[in-house]
Amino acid sequence: MIAFENVTKKYVNDQVAVKAINLEINKGEFFVLIGPSGCGKTTLLKMINRLIHLTEGTIRINGKRISDYNIHELRWNIGYVLQQIALFPHMTIEENIAVVPELKKWSKPQIQQRVRELLEMVGLEPDKYSQRKPKELSGGEQQRVGVVRALAADPEIILLDEPFSALDPISRTKLQDDLLELQQTIQKTIVFVSHDMQEALKLGDRICVMKDGEIVQIGTPHEIIQNPVNDFVREFVGIKEYGINTFHIQAVIEPIADEVYQRNRENIISSKDSLNTILQKLAYDECIGVEENGEIIGIVTRASILQYLAHDSLERGNLNG
Ligand SMILES: Nc1ncnc2c1ncn2[C@@H]1O[C@H](COP(=O)(O)OP(=O)(O)O)[C@@H](O)[C@H]1O
Ligand SMILES: [Mg+2]
């Protein structure tokens, strides 16, 4: 679907931002680029829709060189979501979402229909939201609009550059969940930049770890955790392993035969959920079921989480992270 062949980017000062990248992203794949600040993630992403011109090598989309596409055809068929919420402030939500469909000369009724459909898809009631201005929405709601705007003209590819990092943790978790759910329906090719391993592990079908403009490792979340290729990747995963932001559900999961859970069967989390999500659910129920691949694999209780947190904070001497 998207192929990088020996792609290098040098900026004017001859500094190499991206070095001889070879990479193939599959159709319908949720592909996450991750690495420390300055490692070249944004550069790599922006070369795909020619917002940045590559210095050497070739990028192909569906076999055709990106340089052979008409620039409008290319851009309009690739959705793009930025980290900073970048809605046009003077335009209504409907007008914001309609930008690319307008450029593509869709009919008015077709555009209105599409806007309704998209707002509903992300839980924003069209009658309530479509005529509002961006500043009348919360940060999380605005970024939701940012995501559906990128989907508006039904592009094959969507590029997202740290789209949720400016949001508070709760909105962020919610938008991650929504994006995962959305992807089950739309099955787009998604390239998602993140600097947060927790986010990458949660969202990615495959994760590409970068450092100093080069690829260090590509693999499924499972492969990255189980077989990090070197200390850099190990540490990148490991930093989080000891932080309370990323934690392993295995540390707190208990067998399912628990009478409390039997009474509260409907409260379920996924084994991929963050600690935050789990804490929110445990605020209402003492005990929640853990689901993995459609099966309930165990339970998590308030007591086990508290024990985990207490132990964790004792070990590290604090509770931040
Ligand atoms: N327009 C530019 N001119 C010169 N250097 C740049 C430019 N944009 C990015 N760089 C440099 O290229 C490297 C990669 O940047 P970037 O792709 O933004 O990294 P990331 O998104 O991983 O933080 C960094 O060293 C950065 O300073
Ligand atoms: Mg960046």
pLDDT in tens, 216-268: 999 999 899 888 999 899 888 864 444 444 567 777 888 876 565 665 567 88
Structure tokens at 8: 């290098």
What average pLDDT does the segment 26-36 reach? 96
Distance separating alpha carbons of residues 2 and 101, to the nearest angstrom: 24
What average pLDDT does the segment 57-66 reach? 97
User: Does 289 contact ligand 1 (Cβ within 6 A)?
Assistant: no
CA of 86 from ligand 2 middle (Å) equals 15
Which residue, judged by its Cα, is nearest atom 20 of ligand 1?
38
Distance separating alpha carbons of residues 219 and 180, to the nearest angstrom: 19
Tokens 């940060």, residue? 139
Buried b (16+ CB within 10 A) or exposed e, 279-310: eebbeebebbbbbeeeeeebbbbeebbeebbe
CA of 213 from ligand 1 middle (Å) equals 9
For residue 195, name the pLDDT band (cuts at 50, 70, 90).
confident
Query: Which of 81-85, 189-193, 231-235, 314-318 has the largest mean confidence?
Result: 189-193
CA of 39 from ligand 2 middle (Å) equals 8
Q: In the prediction, which pLDDT does 12 show?
A: 86
Q: What is the pLDDT of residues 272-301, one digit of tens each?
A: 887 777 888 888 788 888 888 888 888 888
Structural domains in the chain, sorted by start: 2-242 (3.40.50.300), 249-316 (3.10.580.10)
CA-CA-CA-CA torsion for 75, 131, 181, 289, nearest 10 degrees?
150
Ligand 1 binding pocket mutation candidate from 18, 19, 34, 42 (most atoms within 8 A of CB): 42
Phi-psi region of 123 (alpha: psi -120 to 50; beta: other; left: phi over 0): left
User: Does 194 contact ligand 1 (Cβ within 6 A)?
Assistant: no
